[in-house]
């Protein structure tokens, strides 16, 4: 029964990972431009994406994104162009390589370490039945006789 529960848990985790990592592209150019705009920070605003900002620079960046989408550039090419024009600080998602890649790796490593620690703790907490010796049986019999 325990193996079935672990198998079920593993199946849920695998399905969640597949769904979470599946790349679902927006269907229209406008949806794609909005999706890219959500990953680019407004240079004039504090913590706001260009899709949500009404600052003149954000409106200009949205126009550039829409123009590049219409030209057929990839999402990464557009993000790279915005980073080249305004600096890496405009990218809301940190790069996945180098020192900044630790932002992606450390939470996963911490989760794995925590799960490993729980596994070890639960293994140590397992109740192991004690062996009953003849002396224990004799002591229990004497105690039973004294209380009767």
Supply the pLDDT for residue 41. 92
Q: What mean pLDDT, rounded, does the chain reach?
A: 86
Looking at per-residue pLDDT, the higher value among 130 and 114 belongs to: 114
Supply the pLDDT for residue 60. 93
Residue whose pair of structure tokens reads 């672990």 in the numeric block:
6
Is the pLDDT confidence value at 74 over 70? yes
Is the pLDDT confidence value at 57 over 70? yes
The dihedral built from the CA positions of residue 101, 105, 110 and 113, taken in this order, carries a sign that is negative
Is the pLDDT confidence value at 69 over 70? yes
pLDDT band at 23 (very low <50, low <70, confident <90, very high): low
41 φ/ψ sector (left φ>0, alpha ψ -120 to 50, else beta): beta
Relative orientation angle of helices 56-71 and 29-37, to the nearest 10 degrees: 130
Supply the pLDDT for residue 18. 83
47 φ/ψ sector (left φ>0, alpha ψ -120 to 50, else beta): left
- φ, ψ for residue 106, nearest 5 deg: -60, -45
* CATH hierarchy code of domain 9-93: 1.10.8.640
40-50 confidence digits (pLDDT tens): 999 888 889 99
Supply the pLDDT for residue 25. 65
Average pLDDT over residues 125-143: 85
Supply the pLDDT for residue 28. 86
Q: Both tokens of residue 31?
A: 């949806």
Q: Both tokens of residue 66?
A: 């829409």
Average pLDDT over residues 88-109: 78
Average pLDDT over residues 100-125: 87
Supply the pLDDT for residue 40. 92
């Amino acid at each position: 029964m325990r193996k079935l529960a672990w198998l079920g848990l593993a199946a849920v985790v695998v399905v969640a990972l597949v769904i979470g990592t599946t790349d679902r592209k927006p269907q229209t150019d406008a949806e794609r431009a909005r999706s890219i705009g959500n990953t680019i920070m407004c240079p004039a605003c504090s913590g706001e994406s260009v899709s949500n900002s009404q600052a003149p620079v954000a409106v200009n960046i949205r126009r550039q994104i829409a123009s590049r989408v219409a030209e057929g550039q990839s999402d990464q090419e557009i993000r790279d162009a915005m980073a080249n024009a305004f600096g890496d600080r405009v990218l809301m998602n940190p790069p996945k390589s180098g020192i900044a890649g630790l932002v992606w790796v450390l939470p996963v490593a911490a989760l794995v370490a925590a799960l490993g620690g729980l596994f070890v703790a639960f293994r140590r907490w397992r109740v192991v039945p004690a062996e009953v010796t003849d002396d224990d049986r004799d002591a229990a019999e004497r105690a039973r006789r004294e209380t009767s």
